Amino acid sequence: GTGSNILSALQDLFWLLKSKAEKQLQIISVLQWVLTFLIMGIACTLILMYILCTDCWAIAALYLAWLVFDWNTPKKGGRRSQWVRNWAIWRYFRDYFPIRLVKTHNLVTTRNYIFGYHPHGIMGLGAFCNFSTEATGVSQKFPGIRPYLATLAGNFRMPILRDYLMSGGICPVNRDSIDYILSKNGSGNAIIIVVGGAAESLNCTPGKNSVTLKNRKGFVKLALRHGADLVPVYSFGENEVYKQVIFEEGSWGRWVQKKFQKHIGFAPCIFHGRGLFSSNTWGLLPYSKPITTVVGEPITIPKIDNPSQKDVDFYHSIYVDSLIKLFDKYKSKFGLPETEVLEVN
């Protein structure tokens, strides 16, 4: 009896230690990604400039020469690495929240797709985990489909950061890059565009389900020009992981945010999550709230080389209706009341 009690106690201690170790690894995995999102580009640029001023300047010079040679690679589908996409760190990243990818319909490999991802949230955590890593099994759920998460083109001007982003299958959200993937890269491609962008991030806050979409029609025009099917995607919980100070329209804070958005491409947000050592303190770590990303039914789009505004408006209205139906169908399954309404701005 005593031996059994000791063995049981040791097993309990082992599982307790393992659980704590896994939690720490989850925190580390999320923290490294948050720091990458916030400072990696600037930090790598400064480090490269410093190395140029040291005895190791030849290393930095060689990298810069190769950077010039490789400059257009992000616009031509990038350079993804299945090894990087399958890193174990992304599974810890997934389990921290946790993040889940839900498939509702099959996607055929003979078509190309534009996924409209909603909402943006502060950092697009669900978009990154689901489509730039294999942590939630996107390649198994959609066999033969190559996902490309589109993000700010400015990120690809940053040394080292650009290569890190490309390794996950991330591409610039500009016309050249999207045109190349949809017209010169075969079929079975899916470009994920966070449609609301920086403007939407300014309004994200826990308990609010709203999207910036009414006047966002450029992705529909691209779909028509290439005959790429549109797929609505809604990520339940994306707005729950950070708390943000929301500035009212007309306030000085909102004016500053809009100026940054107009001239730099992103809007600075005042936000906070939990602390590194305690969930009761403020910090940069997101709160561990579930994020469930639901990929809806594809909308068949015809190929029209020069779509009229009427064509764009027609398919945009179909897309908006499909997104609302997707939200209404799954909202109660993921913790929202039946009375919750998706706000489309």
Any bridge partners for residue 291, and if so which?
99
Total domains in the chain come to 1
pLDDT confidence of residue 29: 95
Percent of the chain surpassing pLDDT 90? 78
| Amino acid type, 74 | P
Q: Summarize pLDDT for 179-200 with one digit per residue, the tens.
A: 999 998 899 999 999 999 888 8
Q: Summarize pLDDT for 27-81 with one digit per residue, the tens.
A: 999 999 999 988 999 999 999 999 999 999 999 999 999 999 999 999 999 999 9
Least confident of 159-173, 243-257, 297-311: 243-257
Question: What is the residue range of 290's domain?
Answer: 2-344
Q: What is the pTM of this model?
A: 0.91
pLDDT confidence of residue 258: 78
Is residue 12 classed as helix, strand or coil in its secondary structure? helix
Residue 231 pLDDT > 90: yes
pLDDT confidence of residue 158: 93
The band of 235, judged by pLDDT with boundaries at 50, 70 and 90, is very high
Taking the C-alpha atoms of residue 34 and residue 36, their distance in angstroms, rounded to an integer, is: 5
Q: Summarize pLDDT for 283-310 with one digit per residue, the tens.
A: 999 999 999 999 999 999 999 999 999 9
Neighbours of 271 (CB within 10 A): 19
Pairing of strands 210-211, 146-151: unpaired
Residue 4 pLDDT > 70: no
Candidates 216, 236, 75; CA nearest to 148 is 75
pLDDT confidence of residue 10: 53
The band of 250, judged by pLDDT with boundaries at 50, 70 and 90, is confident
- DSSP one-letter code for 273: E
